[in-house]
Amino acid sequence: MSDVDAIERLLRDFRDDLRDARSPEQAEAVRVRHLGKKSAIKAAFGTIAKLEASEKARFADALNRARADMEAELEKRTRELDAAELERRFAAEWIDLSLRGVAPRRGARHPLSEIEQRCSGVLRELGFEFADGPEVESAYYNFDALNISEDHPARDAQDTFWISGGLLLRSHTTSVQARVLSRRPRPPIKIVSPGRAYRNETVDASHLAMFHQYEGLWVEAGLTVADLKGVLLYVAERLYGAEHAFRFKPKFYPYTEPSIGMDMACSVCHGEGCRACGHSGWVTILGAGMVHGAVFREFGYDPAEIQGIAFGLGISRMAAQWSAVSPMKRLYEQDLRVHEQVARGQR
């Protein structure tokens, strides 16, 4: 190509194709066709060296002006097409933010999970760490290592679910404490062990065959009953509020000596007695005691040199109290009406 008129034809073809472009992608195709490496104008630049000296300057100037015009017009058209595409997307994706939302219904934590997290938050302040263990347990960790021999009456009271091979579903999460002590860690030891426990119980308003416990163990030299009562009172006041009345009472557990229970004044009857508290005016919230010397000796610790406190909270009962669900078994049933009512109370 060495004809200036031919350059005008190139411009006309370019403008016709650019006018027909209806999208940024089509505009890019026009660029490749008319300004790319294999375009006619690129080939025209290659013919300049073959021209006479008198024609080279005029033809090169015309080519440069044509290429500049193409690039300017292409840039303008591309901006127009980009803006049109953006407007099209805005129109297609427009949302009226003044309309009510269509989000799914908001859920909530199960009351048991809520209580477990509350307990963990309080005991974490005191330096306790989480420990876990299997729900299918051996009789050794569930009974024998905890000073509950084969002929001990406590085995009848905790008549549990037995599995082949001498295994059973653990009747308390105290088995986790036994497993931790069996590893002989160096004191101080401060752990909590929440989880499910199983007992062959008749299901009623306050008992279930499967329930949740939250137990703690603190082992260190020099611990006394005063430390035990201090920890329990701190935990109870943080969980229930310092405005409630609490009391301690003697209890019996094979793996602690001495053993105590902790009661809270019934918040339903305000101490006057009702069905919720068995007409006593008090509700038991936890059991505890000093770790029995036989348990320490079983795992190679000297009870004359080391002491421990252990406590357990029945968080199934606590969750029922906190969420005002009665009887307690409703927390474990798949009744959405109960859980929706609890969820509304959490908001």
34-65: per-residue pLDDT in tens? 888 888 877 777 777 777 776 777 777 888 88
Dmax of the chain from CA atoms? 121
For the record, the structure tokens of 252 come out as 């019996």
> DSSP state, 104?
P
pLDDT of res. 268: 63
Which range has highest mean pLDDT (86-90, 99-103, 226-230, 280-284)? 226-230
CA dist 242 and 209 (Å) reads 32
For the record, the structure tokens of 117 come out as 């997290």
CA dist 208 and 201 (Å) reads 6
Which range has highest mean pLDDT (91-105, 147-161, 169-183)? 169-183
pLDDT band at 131 (very low <50, low <70, confident <90, very high): very high
Q: Summarize the confidence of residues 141-146 as an average pLDDT.
A: 92
Q: Render pLDDT for 16-34 as a digit per residue (tens, 0 to 9).
A: 888 888 888 888 888 888 8
pLDDT band at 136 (very low <50, low <70, confident <90, very high): very high
Please, what is the Cα angle at 294 between 290 and 298, to 5 degrees? Answer: 120
- Single out the residue of 40, 38, 36 nearest to residue 13, CA to CA: 40
What Å distances lie between residue 329 and 135, 158, 317, 333, CA to CA? 20, 19, 10, 7
Answer yes or no: are the C-beta atoms of 279 and 272 closer than 8 Å. no
If one compares 239 and 293, the residue with the highest pLDDT of the two is 293
If one compares 227 and 205, the residue with the highest pLDDT of the two is 227
- Single out the residue of 153, 191, 154, 188 nearest to residue 171, CA to CA: 154
Please, what is the Cα angle at 185 between 180 and 188, to 5 degrees? Answer: 100
CA dist 267 and 258 (Å) reads 28
Helix pair angle (24-35, 4-20), 10° resolution: 160
| Burial per residue of 314-333, b for 16 or more beta-carbon CB atoms within 10 angstroms, e otherwise | bbbbbbbbbbebeebbbbbe
pLDDT band at 338 (very low <50, low <70, confident <90, very high): confident
Q: Count other Cβ atoms within 10 Å, centred on residue 267.
A: 15
Residue with tokens 């101490």: 271
DSSP string, 119-139: HHHHHHHTT-EE----SEEEH
Is the predicted pLDDT of residue 145 greater than 90, yes or no? Answer: yes
